[in-house]
Structure 1
Amino acid sequence: MSNDPKWSYWMLAATAAALLAITNGGRLSLGLFVSPLNTSTGLGITTISLVMAVAQLSWGAVQPLAGAVADRYGAGRALAAGVICMALGAALTPWAHTGLTLSITVGVLLAGGAGASSLAVLLGAAVSRVPEQYRGMASGAINAGGSFGQFIFAPLMQAFIAMIGWMGAMWAMALIVITALPLARVLRTPAPDTSPSAVGTTVDRGMKAALKDAFADRSYLLLHAGFFTCGFHIAFLVTHLPGEVGLCGLPPSVASWSLGIIGLSNIAGSLYAGWCVQRYRSKHVLFWMYGSRAVLVAIYLMAPKTELTFYLFAVGLGFTWLATVPPTASLVGKLHGSRYLATLFGLTIFTHQIGGFLGAWLGGIAISAHGDFQWMWYADMVLAALAAMANLPIREGRVVRHVPTT
């Protein structure tokens, strides 16, 4: 289908968005299972938090590997393998009763599978085949798909947990995820032609050279630093927002609806970020996104902890939640081209998830040691401010606006 002349870029982006909605929606609903898993297994909140931290790290670690497979052999295999692994992990989790087995099913299979069928491969598969002037909006639309999945999955999984228990909810997730397999086939791409006659030393110096150039680039490393904070922030909230809601004496539905609102708000945020990328420097877009998070956390800490506060907080945070992806991917492409975009952007996501590992794990340590998340909120606020400043020195030329021709 990729050779069909009628196959336009927006259909490609819509398909990638639909696949991301399923894999990302399932992954970002895992925080709702923390309390039920703790009650069922008796492992303790610190151990369960470590499992969720492993899931964050696994999701990120898989992406540059899956991106490398996609860059070399085409995206179809990486996406299909990811969908199958994610469904298998969800299906096996009800039989896992130790920290080790949960780390394998949730941390490696489920989260790793979601990573292989997530942003790095999807953006590499779709955006690289979209005309340059539309890539910002295409990446924003794909990212919005992941946010829509969060909006749907969070209340859906909470409803399943309430009606059929957490085990039934996991099996339901497995069934939903496996339906994404046909989408992976639609998004398959042919393996790039790497023959000497097709490549040429001036066109493609190889992945090893691309990696060497990227890690010698100060701007690329600064981009990693900012994305690290994004991962810390998101993983902390996805994993521990239900616990924060419980500490405030509010019902679990407030947490699930807050996560859903974050996803809904990020649909608008992602599309707006894609629009901004085509008109403004991506580093300035990232500066304002990270800076706004520091301000929002400060406002939340001073506000009364009511249902309305959580919902308003979710709207504000959701607008920049994963809307950092379009400008970050855009900067990777501007700095080092689109040939190895899946691999190089996948590495930034890995850094994102190192932050995610710490956000999920340290949150569990904080609640066990102090009985609340106060110090985590302070750390989140400081890191967001530092991330905003880290993006300003990134070298990026002025945006050239494309004027449609008639």
Structure 2
Amino acid sequence: MSTANSKRHTLALHPTTTTLVIVAGALILSAAMGIRQTFGLFIGPFSYDRGVPVTQIAFAIALHNLVWGFAQPFAGAAADRYGSAPVVAFGATTFAAGLGLSAVAPGGALLIVGMGLLVGIGVSCTTFGVVLPAIGRVASPEKRSLAMGLVSAGGSAGQVLMVPLVQGIRLNAGIATSLFVLAFLMLLIAPLGIVLDRRAQARATAQTHEAPAASLRKVFAQAVRHRGYRLLTLGFFTCGFQLAFIATHLPGYLTLCHMPIGLGATALALIGLFNMAGSWACGWLGGRFRQHHVLGWLYLIRSATIGAFFVLPKSATSVVMFAAVMGLTWLGTVPLTSGLVAKVFGTRHLGSLFGVCFLSHQIGSFLGAWLGGLAFDLTGSYSLLWEATVAAGLIAAMLHFPIDDTAVSMPSSRAEPARA
């Protein structure tokens, strides 16, 4: 029944349409993820030029991660019910408003509202929890992991392009201009949700062959009882913690290590470049090996890399090597995690179920970004957080290996939820 459930909710669209959906998804992710990956470049300028304490800037960046996490289940549920087009349009507009408010913010309060609250709501509607479920519905089950990996890889192009673009504009025209340019780019992707939502064309036909959908309460109740879903959700916390800390504080850490100015921006761009290959490779591996095993090894490799970078002498070469390996393991967790949720529970409620799982990721992101700034203000060092990222990765690996990835029968509106 589970296999039939998965196939039943994968809409049979023309290959050209599927390709258009994948391209649209990659462009949306490229803009949203690329822009948010530049926020670490603004910590120093906001601190030196506008006198905003590093702790407040880090809190604003951390808050958008937390708001993103809490808003993601609602954004995913809205996309499941109403389609991606209105959700993406609303998210892109809200994201742009947050960037615009940050551009004119004279102090920490408005920065927290703009870069924290508004950007957090906007990014929840324009990234993985809305885009990948749409991809999962148009791709066949055997190609789903690869398709999600391709979209994630395409989305990484934004990080490669945005970081040097923002660095150049900021150095030549200032903070406000660079943030207004980013706001304009977000507005450009607002209409792409229409292409992403091509699944709506086949919805009426598909519904004639489906059992009535169960309520979200029943679906969530079944997921919470599933041990593998709980372990996956707990492990995803580590991904957010590690990535947010590095993306937010790596430029500042390299400055403390007396590395050349601009090397932090170069490292972030390299992470995005290598993430393109890494996301595709993780999606490919997820289609050939058990996805939770790939996730376990990914966390082990990432933790070993972080530990080696922290304890070994710093040089331009070591920074480049660190960025390359981190890029290969950067966002590969996302297609693997969403693909595993789809494998176990099907795609009908994928946006909602992945959204809840992603909340854990974003709580980790909040703590990684905020605690990094807090630790630096209190101790003048990032050492404690580097050690914490290594330990968290080892714990995540141990959580993923024992996950049971057997597909379960989803409840219908006429049946009680089955026990996993």
What TM bracket, shorter-length normalisation?
over 0.9
The range that moved more, 108-117 or 155-164, is 108-117
Matches within 5 A, 1:289-328: 289-328=298-337
Give yes or no for contact 1:43–1:99 (8 Å, CA) kept in 2: yes
Match in the other structure for 2:219: 210
- Alpha-carbon distance in 2 for matches of 1:97, 1:222: 43
Counterpart check, 1:7 vs 2:16: yes
Match in the other structure for 2:412: none
Counterpart check, 1:18 vs 2:27: yes
Give yes or no for contact 1:281–1:397 (8 Å, CA) kept in 2: no
Matches within 5 A, 1:6-155: 7-155=16-164
Give yes or no for contact 2:101–2:110 (8 Å, CA) kept in 1: no
Match in the other structure for 1:180: 189
- Alpha-carbon distance in 1 for matches of 2:86, 2:147: 22
Which deviations, in whole Å up to 9, do the C-alpha atoms of 1:158-202 show, x marking residues without a partner?
11111111111001111111111231221124396699976535x
- Alpha-carbon distance in 2 for matches of 1:380, 1:321: 14
- Alpha-carbon distance in 1 for matches of 2:390, 2:13: 48
- Counterpart among 230, 242, 257 of residue 221 in structure 1: 230
- Alpha-carbon distance in 1 for matches of 2:13, 2:403: 39
Cα shift at 1:7: 3.4
Structure 1, unaligned runs of 5 or more: 399-406
Give yes or no for contact 2:51–2:107 (8 Å, CA) kept in 1: no
Which deviations, in whole Å up to 9, do the C-alpha atoms of 1:353-400 show, x marking residues without a partner?
1000000111011111111100101100000000001001110249xx
Counterpart check, 1:238 vs 2:247: yes
Give yes or no for contact 2:232–2:357 (8 Å, CA) kept in 1: yes
Counterpart check, 1:368 vs 2:377: yes
- Alpha-carbon distance in 2 for matches of 1:36, 1:87: 20
TM-score between both structures, scaled by the size of structure 1: 0.93
Match in the other structure for 1:404: none
Give yes or no for contact 2:163–2:265 (8 Å, CA) kept in 1: yes
Match in the other structure for 1:261: 270
- Counterpart among 322, 345, 355 of residue 354 in structure 2: 345
Which deviations, in whole Å up to 9, do the C-alpha atoms of 1:225-271 show, x marking residues without a partner?
11100000001011111110110112331011100000111111111
Match in the other structure for 2:414: none
Give yes or no for contact 1:14–1:141 (8 Å, CA) kept in 2: no
Structure 2, unaligned runs of 5 or more: 1-10, 408-420
- Alpha-carbon distance in 2 for matches of 1:47, 1:6: 48
- Alpha-carbon distance in 2 for matches of 1:3, 1:96: 48
**RMSD over aligned Cα atoms:** 2.0
Query: How many residue pairs were aligned?
Result: 395
Give yes or no for contact 2:344–2:406 (8 Å, CA) kept in 1: no
Match in the other structure for 1:359: 368
Which deviations, in whole Å up to 9, do the C-alpha atoms of 1:51-110 show, x marking residues without a partner?
111011122222211100011111111111111111111122122223331111111212
Give yes or no for contact 2:101–2:111 (8 Å, CA) kept in 1: no
Match in the other structure for 2:3: none
Cα shift at 1:4: 8.0
The range that moved more, 92-101 or 296-305, is 92-101
Report the secondary structure of 2:174's partner residue.
Answer: helix
Matched residue type, 1:114: V
TM-score between both structures, scaled by the size of structure 2: 0.90
The range that moved more, 361-370 or 179-188, is 179-188
